[in-house]
Each structure stands twice: as structure tokens, then as C-alpha cells.
Chain A
Amino acid sequence: MVDPLLEIEGLSKAFGAVVACDAVTLALHSGEVHAVIGPNGAGKTTLLGQLAGEIRPDAGRIRFAGEDVTGLPAHARAGRGLARSFQITSLFPRFTALDNVALAVQAQAGHSFRFWHPAARETALVAPARTALARVGLAERADVPAAALAHGEQRQLEIAMALASGPRLLLLDEPTAGMGQEDSGRMIALLSALKAEGRMTILLIEHDMDAVFALADRITVLVYGQTIATGAPEEIRANSEVRRAYLGEEAAA
């Protein structure tokens, strides 16, 4: 069997008395979509923060593509092909949609100590940015400042930025957060299309059960920082502990 792309081993993080992440162990294989679900405060975002390099774990190891990245800062992990999106939309509001994505391309296109040539006219940056925008369906909105985009479009732009760097692993933090039914349906379709291309490995944190069961190959359930179950969607659906802890409320509804 091939080594996993991402291996998390005994990852722990406490904020004071609150244990947000308790000896979490996970493995992601190339090409799979792995969803992490759990009730509010289960430590999903803390887990993602540790993977992205923004939160330093108290204990445990993170291996990415065979390399121990536990001690690496966020920008160095991004450089190795680990891209993330944010739960709360995090864009460059004054930049146009195209420039937002071009900046993501630039991040992976060598150093930025270039002082003279206008970046907006660099085909090497603009062309991949346009491609990424087209992939998420924002080609028409390239020249609109990010601040002027609708919420759903901003979420799509988040994905385009994460895609633009040509990542090996996408960390998506609630891509449908704050979306209405229609927008979130579009987002699920977009992510399914990415998945169908088959090259993308995705760790998906999500509240929306429709999205999770539509996309995930495997699901991990996190409660109070602990993994209570990992398995295929149908196993998770059938798992009584999970139903009690989390799905119960929705199943009853």
C-alpha cells in the first residue's frame, strides 16, 4: 500500500483547561476526500489550524508527503503544497477577484523580490489565475473587487485561491458556511467536479451533512477533541455512538 499523503499522529492541543484536540490520529490517502465532522466546539477548526501551521500542537506529529512538517511555519507548509480555505471568508477586499487569485499563484511562483515589472501584466501569474477562476465559475467576475462580490461568490473565490497554487492537499474549512440552499448546492457541485478530476486530495471540515455525504469517501467524527469514529459514510451513518453524539438531532428532525 502507498504511504498516506497526510499522517496525523497523537495530535493534542489544549487551551487552558479546554482540550480542543485530544490525541487525534488520522491518515489521508492521495485522491480521497476525507470529511471531519462534529458538533460546535469539537475542535475541528483547531485541528485544521494545526495542519495549516497556524497553531502549534502541544504533542503529536504531522507528516505530509513523507516529511515531518510539525515544526514548519504556515508559509513553508503552503510552499510544500498544503493549501487552505477559511471558514470566515478571508480575502483581499480591495483587490479584484483576478488579483486575489493571481496573488495565490505568485505565492508559489518563486520569491517576490521583483521590484520593477508590473505584476498585473505577467502572463505567468495572470493565465493560471484566470484558469482557476474559470474552474470555480467566476470567469465573468474577474475584474470585480472582492469586497463587491456576493457572499457565495466570495466563497467560490476562496476555493479558486486555494486551487491556484496547484496544491497537493486542500484543507477546506466549512466551504458552505453561511450559504443559502442554492449557493451551497452550487458549492457542492463545484467540489464534486474537483473530486471527479481525481487528482485532488481534500480534507473537508463541514457542518452541512448534505455536503459531507455527497462528497466524502471517509468521515471522521470529532467530539470534544476526540475521534469517536472513522469510516465510510454508510458506516458512520450506522454508528450508534455517532448518532447519539451528533447525528441524532438531525435524524430526529
Chain B
Amino acid sequence: MARPAVTRLVLWGALVLLLALPPLVQGLGADFAVGVATRVLIFALVGVSLNLILGYGGMVSFGHAAFFGAGAYVVAILAQHDTQGEQLVTWPIVIDGTQSALIAWPAAMAVSALLALVIGLIALRTSGLYFIMITLAFAQMLYFLFISLRAYGGEDGLSLFARSAAGPFDLADDVHFYYLVLGFVLLALWIKRRLVASRFGRTLRGIRDNERRMQALGFPTFRYKLAAFVMAGAVAGLSGALIANQTEFVSPSFLDWQRSGEILVIVILGGMGRVYGPVAGAVAFLLLEEVLSAWTDHWMLVLGPILVLVVLFAKGGIWSLIERGETTDG
């Protein structure tokens, strides 16, 4: 797909910047920035996952933090069982704890995908406001479940003894971890671009724009929405596994409704239904948070008006200022 020069310039510029970021900031003596950038990328990844269902599927999920938080808890719980030498499950099969990323991260994705399957089977029977409310309700149920789980820290959360072991990557090293997360984000963006233009992506966009017509054409729309919901859940689970590793700590606040709201804001701010939108949204949101919260505790007071301005004047979000029109329809 031929893209205008400006977009291409921005994309390549962003890629070079992201690749060169660690040596650059270390040279400036601002090592902490690698951690900030990693966090931004993790939120970009969870934004990319929400964008699939929100931006392309028209499903306004207000419970995306459930999958994010579940992924984080899977990593933390497996790690706790491993360090304490207790088995996670003893019957009907024995499951040991683990600190291996190769096991724990796919497990996080699988658990979040399964959770999305169960929630989706129920929530996707509704639409509009009811869908928003029901996804919110499920996420809050999970939130209170983890608050009441004393074995896993309850309200206080759970600390990780160390980051996951990931073969050649030394995740304790912030730079290694940064590049691994960057790799995941790039991979997700690439897959997303293919997916959106594929038959499946076109089906999803059709459902977003006119579900009734899709059914009249012969599409069993429910199963496509459910498939997208599960995929988004799985990627959110991976993002959760990454954030648990970055902070080396998980708590119920990872899956409360405010977190779901933040992920929504990232996608809306960046540009719904635009492949790179959530990355722009995550950069803008987290950097604003970083800068403004150093200046005042009431940084939301500043963010609020900015969000209103974006919604009023740049309906397609930040990314629409770079790229005009919806290029993915095809």
C-alpha cells in the first residue's frame, strides 16, 4: 500500500528513534528513561490489542484491564510458587511454578484468552451501552476476586523475586528487556496490519460499520467478534506478563476500572481504527503523565481538557494529524 511521504517519514523516524533510544539516553546519563520507554511500549501493546476490538470491531470494552491484570498475575503467581517450591496444582495433574518466560508468558496469554472467551461468550450477546457495562462488571469481579485472594497478597499485591528467565535475553538488564518489548510491539503492529487488510479484518470492519447488513449478507457475525475479542485478550495478557516483569510487582490495581479507562484513553487519544494510533496514544498519555505528575498531583486536570480537544478537533486521534483518511480500508 503506497503511503504518503509524511507518514513514511514519521514511521521510519520513530523506528530509528526507538532502536537508538537506549544508547542515546544512556549517553545523556538519563538511564531511567529506558524504563519509562519500556513502560510506554507495554501500554502501546495493550493499546494495540484494544484497538483491534474497539477501533476495528466497534466493541467498546470497558474491561480490558481484566486481561492485562490476569496476564500479570499469571506470571507473578507462577513465580511465587517456583520460589517457594510449592506446586500450583496437584490434582488432577501436577503443575509446578516457573520463572521461565517461555512457559509463563504463553501461559499468561492462554489464561487471558480463555478469560476473554468466557467473558466474550456472554458480553458479545449485548451491544452498545450494555456491552460497556457488562465488560466493566466482569473486570470488577476479577478485581475483587484478587483483592480477596490472601494467598496472593490480597490488596497489597505480590512482589516478584526476579524477572522471568528468557534464554539469551537477560531481562534483569533494562536494555535487554527494552529491546524484547520493542520486538513484541513491532511484531504486533506487523501482524495487525496484515490482519486488518485480510478477509478477517474486513469482516470485522464491516461488522463495526453495519452489523445488520453483514448478517443479511450471510456473515455469522458473532463468531468473528468473539475471535477478535479472544485475540485481543491474549495480547493484553502478554502485555500484562511484560508489565509484571517491568515493575516486578503486581496488585489488584492492575485490573481495576481506572486501568481499563486509561487503556481506552490511550486508544482514543492515539486514534481508533488506526494501526499505529495506540503507539502514539501511549507515548502521549504516559509522557504527559510523567511530566505533569512531577509538576502537580492533579495532572488529570490538564489531561482532561487535552482529551476533550482531541475528541473535538482531531476525531481520528493524534495519528490522524499525521495520516489523513482511513488507509486500512481495502
Q: Which residues of A contact B (CB under 8 A)?
A: 52, 54, 73-76, 78-79, 83-84, 86, 90-96, 99, 103-104, 106-108, 112-120, 122, 125, 161, 165
Residues of B in contact, count (CB < 8 Å): 28
Q: Are B194 and A115 in contact (CB under 8 A)?
A: yes
As a 0/1 sequence over residues 200 to 229 of chain B, the CB contacts with chain A under 8 angstroms (1 = contact) are 111101100110111111111100100100
CB-CB < 8 A to B213: which residues of A? 86, 90-92
Q: Are A90 and B212 in contact (CB under 8 A)?
A: yes
Q: How far, in angstroms, from A230 to B203 measured CA to CA in the complex?
A: 40
- What are 25 of the A-B contact pairs (CB < 8 Å)? A78-B216, A79-B218, A83-B216, A90-B212, A90-B216, A91-B213, A92-B205, A92-B213, A93-B209, A94-B209, A95-B205, A99-B329, A103-B202, A103-B206, A103-B214, A103-B217, A104-B217, A107-B214, A107-B219, A115-B195, A115-B200, A115-B201, A116-B195, A118-B330, A165-B217
CB-CB < 8 A to B198: which residues of A? 114-119
CB-CB < 8 A to A86: which residues of B? 213, 216
As a 0/1 sequence over residues 174 to 198 of chain B, the CB contacts with chain A under 8 angstroms (1 = contact) are 0000000000000000000011011
Q: Are A99 and B202 in contact (CB under 8 A)?
A: yes
CB-CB < 8 A to B202: which residues of A? 99, 103, 106, 112, 119
Q: How far, in angstroms, from A120 to B326 measured CA to CA in the complex?
A: 15
Contact of B220 among A75, A117, A118, A161 (CB under 8 A): A75
Q: Are A73 and B215 in contact (CB under 8 A)?
A: yes
Chain B, residue nearest A92 (CB): B209
What is the minimal beta-carbon distance from B117 to any residue of chain A, in angstroms? 15
Q: Are A119 and B218 in contact (CB under 8 A)?
A: no
CB-CB < 8 A to A161: which residues of B? 217
Q: Are A95 and B212 in contact (CB under 8 A)?
A: no
Chain B, residue nearest A90 (CB): B213
Q: Are B194 and A116 in contact (CB under 8 A)?
A: yes
CB-CB < 8 A to A125: which residues of B? 199
Q: Are B206 and A92 in contact (CB under 8 A)?
A: yes
Q: Are B209 and A95 in contact (CB under 8 A)?
A: yes
Given contacts A94-B329, A96-B329, A120-B330, contact A74 B215 (CB under 8 A): yes
Q: Which residues of B contact A (CB under 8 A)?
A: 194-195, 197-203, 205-206, 209-210, 212-221, 224, 227, 326, 329-330
CB-CB < 8 A to B217: which residues of A? 75, 78, 83, 103-104, 107, 161, 165
What is the minimal beta-carbon distance from A88 to any residue of chain B, in angstroms? 11
Q: How far, in angstroms, from A113 to B329 measured CA to CA in the complex?
A: 18
Q: How far, in angstroms, from A91 to B200 measured CA to CA in the complex?
A: 18
CB-CB < 8 A to A95: which residues of B? 205-206, 209, 329
CB-CB < 8 A to A115: which residues of B? 194-195, 198-201
Q: How many A-B residue pairs have CB under 8 A?
A: 107
Q: Are B210 and A75 in contact (CB under 8 A)?
A: no
Q: How far, in angstroms, from A96 to B205 measured CA to CA in the complex?
A: 13
Chain A, residue nearest B209 (CB): A92
Given contacts A90-B210, A94-B209, contact A120 B197 (CB under 8 A): yes
Report which residue of B206, B216, B220 has the largest number of chain A beta carbons within 10 angstroms of its beta carbon.
Answer: B216
Q: Are A112 and B200 in contact (CB under 8 A)?
A: yes
CB-CB < 8 A to A112: which residues of B? 199-200, 202-203, 219, 224
CB-CB < 8 A to A83: which residues of B? 216-217
What is the minimal beta-carbon distance from B112 to any residue of chain A, in angstroms? 19
Q: Are A78 and B194 in contact (CB under 8 A)?
A: no
Q: How far, in angstroms, from A75 to B206 measured CA to CA in the complex?
A: 14
Chain A, residue nearest B200 (CB): A115
Q: How far, in angstroms, from A108 to B203 measured CA to CA in the complex?
A: 12
Q: Are B216 and A74 in contact (CB under 8 A)?
A: yes
CB-CB < 8 A to B215: which residues of A? 54, 73-75, 78
Contact of A113 among B209, B221, B227, B330 (CB under 8 A): B227
CB-CB < 8 A to A116: which residues of B? 194-195, 198
What is the minimal beta-carbon distance from B197 to any residue of chain A, in angstroms? 4
Q: Are B199 and A94 in contact (CB under 8 A)?
A: no
Further pairs besides A73-B220, A75-B214, A118-B197: 19, Cβ < 8 Å: A75-B215, A75-B218, A83-B216, A90-B216, A92-B209, A92-B210, A99-B330, A103-B214, A112-B200, A112-B219, A113-B199, A113-B227, A115-B194, A115-B195, A115-B198, A115-B201, A117-B198, A117-B199, A119-B202
Q: How far, in angstroms, from A113 to B210 measured CA to CA in the complex?
A: 19
CB-CB < 8 A to B200: which residues of A? 112-115
Q: Are A165 and B218 in contact (CB under 8 A)?
A: yes
What is the minimal beta-carbon distance from A169 to any residue of chain B, in angstroms? 13
Q: How far, in angstroms, from A113 to B202 measured CA to CA in the complex?
A: 11
Q: How far, in angstroms, from A120 to B213 measured CA to CA in the complex?
A: 20
Chain A, residue nearest B273 (CB): A94
CB-CB < 8 A to A122: which residues of B? 199
Q: Are A78 and B218 in contact (CB under 8 A)?
A: yes
Q: How far, in angstroms, from A125 to B202 measured CA to CA in the complex?
A: 12
Chain B, residue nearest A171 (CB): B216
Contact of A52 among B197, B209, B216 (CB under 8 A): B216
